[in-house]
Amino acid sequence: MILLTGATGKTGGELARQLNNADIPFSAIARSRDKAAELLDMEADVVFGDLEDRDFLAAAMAGIEKAVLIMPNVENQLAVEKQFIDVAKETGVQHIVYQSSLESVPGSTNPITGIHVATEEYLKAAGLAWTMIRPGFFMQTFAASAPRIKESGNIVLPLGSATLCATDLRDVAAIMVKVLTEPGHENQSYDITGPELITMEEVAARFSQILGREYKYVDLPLDAFKGALKNAGFNDWRVNAVACELNSIANGSLDHTTETVQQLLGREANSIDKFISDHAELFR
Ligand SMILES: NC(=O)c1ccc[n+]([C@@H]2O[C@H](COP(=O)([O-])OP(=O)(O)OC[C@H]3O[C@@H](n4cnc5c(N)ncnc54)[C@H](OP(=O)(O)O)[C@@H]3O)[C@@H](O)[C@H]2O)c1
């Protein structure tokens, strides 16, 4: 049996949808019934609890062979992820699929990439089979601020004129489905990106071209961006962590693409044009 974490979030939610559409049974951890409404409509075994709760985790992992670990970027992410790996080992889970990120390379000192590097190292040393899923910048980031983009026509980020590998998490989830259902992906790291490098100016131009109205990229100074995160209720750790991440992207940390989608799925990775067309109603 497969166990999903993060199944009410962006990547885990898409993974749940794809598993469900393919009639692949799975179990999913959720924290609230409200957020789990879509999961509860699926043929899934939904268990309610918190990843921080060791006893709950041990019960949720009974009989699980493969577990997908997806955590948001929070201050105790590393501790929760290490505990997850420990409990998986104790309960006989054989394989952990871990969502890391493309820019998490050894030596990275950013809070978020530092956590991913440390968890990857911990998982590799744990003695279970592992697969690292390492995506670039999610195109779905634009969907998260769709109401503001729709209203103002502005795409606001502190990314300067950097080129980056925008990545459709539908491709990421499709690769996870393969990893969970086929042999041969044990102890592999998959760096996953979209098909092209693109600047935010170009992203705005594609939005304009495809949706038929004008969109603009607003390059917000990093301090102003941090102020906006603080106003949105982010705590100091998260404000700093997200700002460091975006600053490193602005300085080129996602300035490359990979062939992983083509190699594993046998098709082109989804382009930003496809993402915009498929989500047109959110932005127009
Ligand atoms: N954003 C990007 O561009 C990008 C790119 C590459 C990699 N990543 C990595 O992707 C990861 C985040 O993935 P995502 O964006 O798909 O996640 P997300 O949308 O932020 O969702 C997080 C999920 O984790 C659940 N969760 C959080 N804390 C929990 C806890 N204590 N117990 C149980 N469940 C808990 C949430 O449940 P609730 O619904 O209950 O809150 C939600 O389902 C991060 O590690 C990030 O570094 C992100």
pLDDT at position 135 over 90: yes
Instruction: Please give the distance, rounded to the nearest whole angstrom, from the Cα atom of residue 269 to the centre of ligand 1.
Output: 22
Element (H, E) at 148: helix 146-152
pLDDT of res. 199: 98
Q: Where are the domains of the chain?
A: 2-135+169-193
pLDDT of res. 108: 86
Instruction: Please give the distance, rounded to the nearest whole angstrom, from the Cα atom of residue 214 to the centre of ligand 1.
Output: 32
Question: How confident is the model over 46-75, as a mean pLDDT?
Answer: 98
pLDDT of res. 23: 97
Instruction: Please give the distance, rounded to the nearest whole angstrom, from the Cα atom of residue 46 to the centre of ligand 1.
Output: 17
The span from the CA of 16 to the CA of 5, in Å, is 10
The span from the CA of 270 to the CA of 220, in Å, is 27
pLDDT of res. 109: 84
pLDDT of res. 214: 97
Asked if residue 135 has its Cβ within 6 Å of ligand 1, the reply is yes
Tens of pLDDT along 226-275?
A: 999 999 999 999 999 999 999 999 999 999 999 999 999 999 999 999 99
Task: Say whether 112 sits in a helix, a strand or coil.
Answer: helix
Question: How confident is the model over 221-229, as a mean pLDDT?
Answer: 96
Asked if residue 75 has its Cβ within 6 Å of ligand 1, the reply is no
Site to substitute for ligand 1 among 33, 70, 176, most atoms within 8 A of C-beta:
70
Asked if residue 99 has its Cβ within 6 Å of ligand 1, the reply is yes
The span from the CA of 231 to the CA of 226, in Å, is 9
Name the DSSP class of 252. T
Nearest alpha carbon, ligand 1 atom 18: 9
- Domain 2-135+169-193 fold: Rossmann fold (3.40.50)
Nearest alpha carbon, ligand 1 atom 25: 6
Asked if residue 238 has its Cβ within 6 Å of ligand 1, the reply is no
Instruction: Mark 200-227 as b/e (b = at least 16 C-beta within 10 Å).
Output: bebbbbbbeebbeeebebebbeeeebbe
Q: Say what the pTM is.
A: 0.97
